[in-house]
Amino acid sequence: MGKLVLYGVEASPPVRACKLTLDALGLQYEYKLVNLLGGEHKSKEYTLKNPQHTVPMLEDDDGKCIWESHAICAYLVRRYAKDDALYPKDYFKRALVDQRLHFESGVLFQGCIRNIAAPLFYKNETEVPRFKIDAIYEAYDFLEVFIGSQPYLCGSGITIADFSIVSSVTSLVGLAPIDPKRYPKLNGWLDRMAKLPNYQSLNGNGAQMLIDMFSSKITKIV
């Protein structure tokens, strides 16, 4: 097998989801930091590979490029995994994972993280409306139900949905702390995920970076 290259930044939840997946599969890869503030993602070289000029982007060993974290994680499992545990082939089990992935994409990332981050980082706003914080807690309510009596989001074993959602939830706890009494199942799931090998370097440190970035910009919740 040739060399896999992952392009990204540490604070990005989708990038961290890809790193957790690569690690779970035991894959060796090169990690290339992309200077977003310097516009590196909009360079001619980068946009030729990814016209949407986003991170993460995976460059496979044959030069093919894939972006969007859910597509990358699913591809990695389908191509390189020894079994289908992380992304089951069973139609219903896969649909369940897909549902959680779409929830992360549309609700957690777009509806919560990006909805707050974009005005802060691109429009220099410093106040966050209370309804945006309420939306995070509404998402937590759903996750509490999703987990139910199971150890993980889709059942007894970890899937790429767990990697994707943990990267976003751990980025939101600085804005909306998780009360273990209100969210015992979500809190327990986070504790289990934190015990994964290399978890701190793959997700924890980057999540704290994003939390710190939020804290440096927000003056108050209104």
Q: Which of 12, 164, 168, 171 is catalytic?
A: 12
Q: Strands 29-33 and 57-59, how do they pair?
A: unpaired
Q: Strands 4-8 and 29-33, how do they pair?
A: parallel
Sign for the CA dihedral angle at 24, 30, 31, 37 comes to negative
Give the CA distances from residue 122 to residues 41, 60, 135, in Å, rounded to whole numbers and listed in that order. 16, 31, 21
Residue count of the chain, please give it.
222
Active site residue 215: no
Are 11 and 206 in contact, with CB atoms under 8 Å apart? yes
Q: Kindly give the residue spans of alpha helices, DSSP state H, lying in 25-149.
A: 44-49, 69-80, 91-103, 115-122, 130-147
Q: Which run of H or E residues covers position 7?
A: strand 4-8
Sign for the CA dihedral angle at 105, 52, 70, 37 comes to negative
Residues classed as catalytic? 12
